[in-house]
Amino acid sequence: MSQLSFRHLNTDWNAEPNAPDVELTVEGDVVRLSFLLNPWAYDAKVGEIGTLRFVGCDRLRWDATNDHAWFAGKGRYSNQAPEWGEFYEVIGDDHAINDLDWEVLSQDSPNSRHFLFYFRDETIEFFAQDWSLTRKMPKGG
């Protein structure tokens, strides 16, 4: 693996650290990743849901690497990513991606970017053209 850099994307929000209640939906090449936001360290209400929307998504990977494995050096980027529990864009040529199990949604695009989100009990990666975040309170909340 060549030298990679990690651009931190969630500087003023994050997932709930203990039970983020992660849900993933795929519609063609659009992937939505919903989770509870962290109201204790950021400006979010208890129960508020964040949804990351990845457009032009070529592939995704849901890995069971949790915080214990990452800190033990067993995660894919344990010795490279700056911190556990954050959302990053991975920049650089990661040749190892072809050696992993991916859910392929479409042919890889030259404009795809590599995104990585560390949740408490899982790691989720995407290759997509772009991303956005929306926030909402559940009905009745």
- For tokens 């457009």, the residue is 55
* Residue 69: DSSP 8-state: H
Secondary structure (3-state) at 86: coil
**Which residues, at least 6 apart from 62, have a Cβ–Cβ distance to it below 8 Å?**
24, 103, 122, 123, 124
What digits encode the pLDDT tens for the residues 47-72? 999 999 999 999 999 999 889 998 99
What is the dihedral angle through the alpha carbons of 126, 103, 84, 95, rounded to the nearest 10 degrees?
-80
Q: Structural domain boundaries of the chain?
A: 5-136
What digits encode the pLDDT tens for the residues 66-114? 899 989 998 888 889 999 999 999 999 876 677 678 999 998 899 999 9
Predicted structure pTM score:
0.92
